[in-house]
Structure 1
């Protein structure tokens, strides 16, 4: 099994103002002359951390990580103003230009896979290839499955904690009920709703229970940005047209891609990855038989590191010995 590369520190940091409201945290690590790759984090609202750059060989890759609008070290925290899928696509393009990168590899999981596909379909000429995990196509049926009815039947005990902040007479539309509290002025109700929302995600992210993942999702600042921004996006169907990402796959059908997906992914069921693979002739689908949704699960980590290594060798025309 491949494990993550050792911890490295960024060699450059950028505070990039993308409009009058938002300033993004961006950093670079690895080789300045390496193959550019951008790590696109999930959520939306989760942010990057020191683990994000460890999927890539720092001798081969110029590694870019950034926190999307409203989360992580970007400011203002948990802001919903000017925060849509297309704002984030434009931000990626601003980052690319700011760093003087011609083309890069896109590496994204969960919501990061959604945003990577949206960016690639908008700017296919700027993409070498894609490595995607835990495919999320952001369609109403996927949001319904996890936040209203479906996954609830697999985790009825966790589900009760998720819906606890919502009165019985509002539970027929949980997305709207959570949204009302997450954007409201009652800060106690807001944080109660945010922790319930985020912990539901953390508890169901792994096949085997992982307290470290749950603790990460329940950290108050992270929980607030995840819950507010996710609920904002999902209430608006992620600002996508119906089935847009599958509909527009012809725009990037020529690009190489690797899809890594846990067979027992409850947050983003496997049929999402299967459907994407069917619409993408130049992709490879790797179904990890003993994993759920989280990138930290052993089989998924192994597959992602191997995929990144292989992508670099191919793009840089290296032999296995050179890599």
Structure 2
């Protein structure tokens, strides 16, 4: 089983100004002359993970990571003004233009896969290939599966009770809307309690086997606040997308090769999503990981991602048009 490449540090860090007031943190790792890959983190509302640098051979790849609007080291932190899916897609293109890269590989997991797909559908000529993990299509039913009773709640009923704890009976009729209201409360304690409950539920659903490390990362107060605030902002607005937009526009991916990696026991974004995408996108290859859930840090997911990144480098490294 393959494991991460050795840890590396960025050889360059940048601040890229986009629409005011947003300024993006962007970093470059690996080989400056290598195959360019943009790594799009999950969320919305989390940050780029340092371990994402080590999914790619640093001798062969120019690895570009960034923090999305309101996330991580991008500023202002947890800012919702001008924070929409369409803006994030334009930010990805702004980063490409900043580096004057003609074409690149785009890699994304979960919400990062959502953005990668939407970017490729809009800027098809700029995408050499897609590498996707834990595909999240951001349809109303996908949001409801995770955040409304009747989906993941039936798999984790004990965890679901904790998720519902901040909500009254009437508020439970629309959990996303109710959490959004709590996250915009003027009471700091109300906001923090809601943020931790929201983040804890997501962390508990993310891995096949319980992971205290993942839980601790998600419920860290600073991270949990941005995660819950930005996610409820997006999901209350159905990701700022038409329902089933990605599948209905899948024909725009014609000519773009892709590798989809999805855990069979993904409880955040069920395997059904990846299967539907694969059927609608003939150029894609679907790898179902039999002993994994949703999280990118699970051993079998790491193995599959590194194999895929290796395969893509072998396929494209001889090309001279990037």
TM-score over 0.5 (shorter chain): yes
Matches within 5 A, 1:10-89: 10-89=10-89
CA-CA distance at 1:311 after TM superposition: 0.3
Aligned counterpart, 1:268: 269
Q: How many residues align?
A: 318
State the Cα deviation string for residues 295-317 of structure 1 (Å, max 9, x = none). Answer: 11111110000000100110013
Aligned counterpart, 1:194: 195
The 8 Å contact of residues 28 and 64 in structure 2, kept in 1 or not, is answered as: yes
CA-CA distance at 1:169 after TM superposition: 2.1
Give the TM-score normalised by structure 1: 0.97
Matches within 5 A, 1:140-179: 140-149=140-149, 150-179=151-180
CA-CA distance at 1:280 after TM superposition: 0.7
Matches within 5 A, 1:171-320: 171-317=172-318
CA-CA distance at 1:184 after TM superposition: 2.4
Q: SS of the counterpart of 2:70?
A: coil
Return the alpha-carbon distance in structure 2 between the equivalents of residues 20 and 213 of structure 1: 33
CA-CA distance at 1:4 after TM superposition: 0.6
Aligned counterpart, 2:123: 123
CA-CA distance at 1:226 after TM superposition: 1.1
Return the alpha-carbon distance in structure 1 between the equivalents of residues 7 and 164 of structure 2: 38
Aligned counterpart, 1:321: none
Aligned counterpart, 2:98: 98
Return the alpha-carbon distance in structure 1 between the equivalents of residues 120 and 60 of structure 2: 22
CA-CA distance at 1:188 after TM superposition: 1.1
Q: SS of the counterpart of 1:168?
A: coil
State the Cα deviation string for residues 10-41 of structure 1 (Å, max 9, x = none). Answer: 00000111122111110001000000001100
Gaps of 5+ in 1: 319-323
Return the alpha-carbon distance in structure 1 between the equivalents of residues 112 and 170 of structure 2: 34
Q: SS of the counterpart of 2:198?
A: helix
The 8 Å contact of residues 296 and 302 in structure 2, kept in 1 or not, is answered as: yes
Matched, 1:112 2:115: no
State the Cα deviation string for residues 77-119 of structure 1 (Å, max 9, x = none). Answer: 1111100000000100111111111111010000000000110
Gaps of 5+ in 2: none
The 8 Å contact of residues 41 and 49 in structure 2, kept in 1 or not, is answered as: no
Return the alpha-carbon distance in structure 2 between the equivalents of residues 183 and 101 of structure 1: 39
